[in-house]
Chains A and B, each alone.
Chain A
Amino acid sequence: MNTSPGITLRGQHRIGDRVLFNADLHIPGAQWTCLLGPSGVGKSTILRLILDLETGGDFNGSIAATDGMPLAGRISYMAQSDLLLPWLSVLDNVCIGARLRGVAPDADRACDLLRRVGLSDHSGQKPASLSGGMRQRAALARTLFEDRPIVFLDEPFSALDAGTRADMQELAAEVLGGRTVLLITHDPAEAARLADQITVMSAQGTQNWPTPETAALREINAAETLACQARLLSYLRGIAA
């Protein structure tokens, strides 16, 4: 893995005549940035703009990596839906990126990643036979298999039950350490646990939110985590109204 760069995004995004957002976002390198905000404010659009995916609008501004190198090919992506291919085994799903690029997959590395996410015993199974949490772990292994310095997570744990979600947060924090991570989430508790930087997005733009003094990954029930979560929730309820 290369050194993980930061990302800056400055500009305005319009859908037709409507301005969706004016953003001035800095995502620091090798850290977790959690992006929160009301639904429809444009959080996923920011992610899609940086990934160069279709957004259905026009962006007028700049997107760049802090090391001056192109971002293309240096970002891996994990969505809310696990996007596992149902006809492939878990192991083949982990390797799908290599196959899609037309190169021979490194099956040993894929097996090692499955071991890291606790799915060694399920590598030959089809996704339909896995639980929601196991499927997200397989998707995380697939994201890791890409071995990119930047990882975008678009609400990947939101559909999981509370216990599984906490487990997945810990697993993701462990295996994605050292990478530049942008996590889009609606969950203030998730941001308070995981973030090195919290950015709140509203119709007025983006603003950074104070994180707890302690380093991520924080205990769920630590006083500073809970306080951060409560302040953040109050603020989000205010701007959502």
Chain B
Amino acid sequence: MKFRDTLLALLIGLGLWQMLVIVTQAPHFILPSPWRVALAAYKSRVVIVENAWITATEVVLGLLIGTILGVATAIQLAISKTAERLMLPILVFTQAVPVFALAPLLTLWFGYGMGSKIVMAVLIIYFPVTSAFHDGLTRIDSGYRDLSISMRAGTWHFMRHIQIPQALPSLGTGLRLAAVYAPIGAVIGEWVGASRGLGYLMLLANGRAKIDLMFASLIVLACLTVILHVAVGMLASRLTWYAQGTSRP
């Protein structure tokens, strides 16, 4: 049922796009038709797959590193009140700086390769992951806290056996957001300075007025993001089922 609905929505979207092309009579270098874009995607499939692979690698590595850093920071903030007092305002303040504005600096520091794009993706997802997980860790059921005090629990053991498992659904929420943000970070990094990746390919196609190739790259990027979002969503659901002690409904 869900697959059928998705397919139907896709067909409606394509239909509307085609209608727009017919109604506006826009030239193909402004608004190519879906068929033309499909043709361009097929002709340039090798180039698109090569560049998509680069972007996907940047996004997945950024997501992994950003998640590890975010989780470690959230745990540190939840364990140490001093760290929470000192670091939380700094973390919030850093959000006032648009991460996109840092892209030229990151390219300067980490070069034109994958490094600067991975750092960009890490920076863009670090705060949502940290914030969501920290929120889950600190919103602990007071009954569990009382019980653990009466049981003479150690801080780390309480964290490991109660706080972290209870906060997993919150981490899942942060990861869902991160899965959508990470490709944005990687592509912006590619726009600022790169010789590979879907962002680079889009700029290249735009510069050569190959708008059909640009659309094809954009659609592949959207597909990558959707696949990542679905995969992370499944992981997040598993975390929630685990924390609730239930099996898949």
Contact = CB atoms under 8 A, between A and B. Distances in A.
B146 A51 contact: yes
B150 A75 contact: yes
Which secondary structure dominates where chain B touches chain A?
helix
A133 to B, nearest CB: 18
B161 A96 contact: yes
B154 A100 contact: yes
Contacts of A75: 150
A122 to B, nearest CB: 13
A79 B148 CA distance: 12
A82 to B, nearest CB: 9
Contacts of A88: 245
Nearest to A80: B143
A87 to B, nearest CB: 5
Nearest to B241: A87
B157 interface: yes
Contacts of B157: 99-102
A179 to B, nearest CB: 15
Contact of B245 (A99, A102, A126): A126
A53 B162 CA distance: 18
B165 interface: yes
B236 to A, nearest CB: 15
A4 B159 CA distance: 32
Contacts of A97: 151
Contact of A101 (B143, B152, B244): B152
Contacts of A86: 243-246
A128 interface: yes
Of listed A72, A76, A81, A86, residue having the most chain B CB within 10 A: A86
Given A99-B157, A126-B245, A79 B151 contact: no
B7 interface: no
A87 B158 contact: no
Contacts of B153: 100-101
Interface string A66-92: 000000110111010101011110000
Contacts of B146: 48, 51, 53, 77, 79
A195 B196 CA distance: 78
Given A51-B146, A126-B245, 13 more contacts: A79-B146, A81-B143, A83-B141, A83-B144, A85-B161, A88-B245, A96-B151, A96-B161, A100-B152, A100-B161, A101-B151, A101-B152, A152-B150
Interface of B: 141, 143-144, 146-154, 157-158, 161-162, 165-166, 242-246
14 contacts: A51-B146, A53-B146, A77-B147, A83-B141, A85-B166, A86-B245, A87-B242, A87-B243, A96-B161, A97-B151, A100-B148, A101-B152, A102-B157, A127-B245
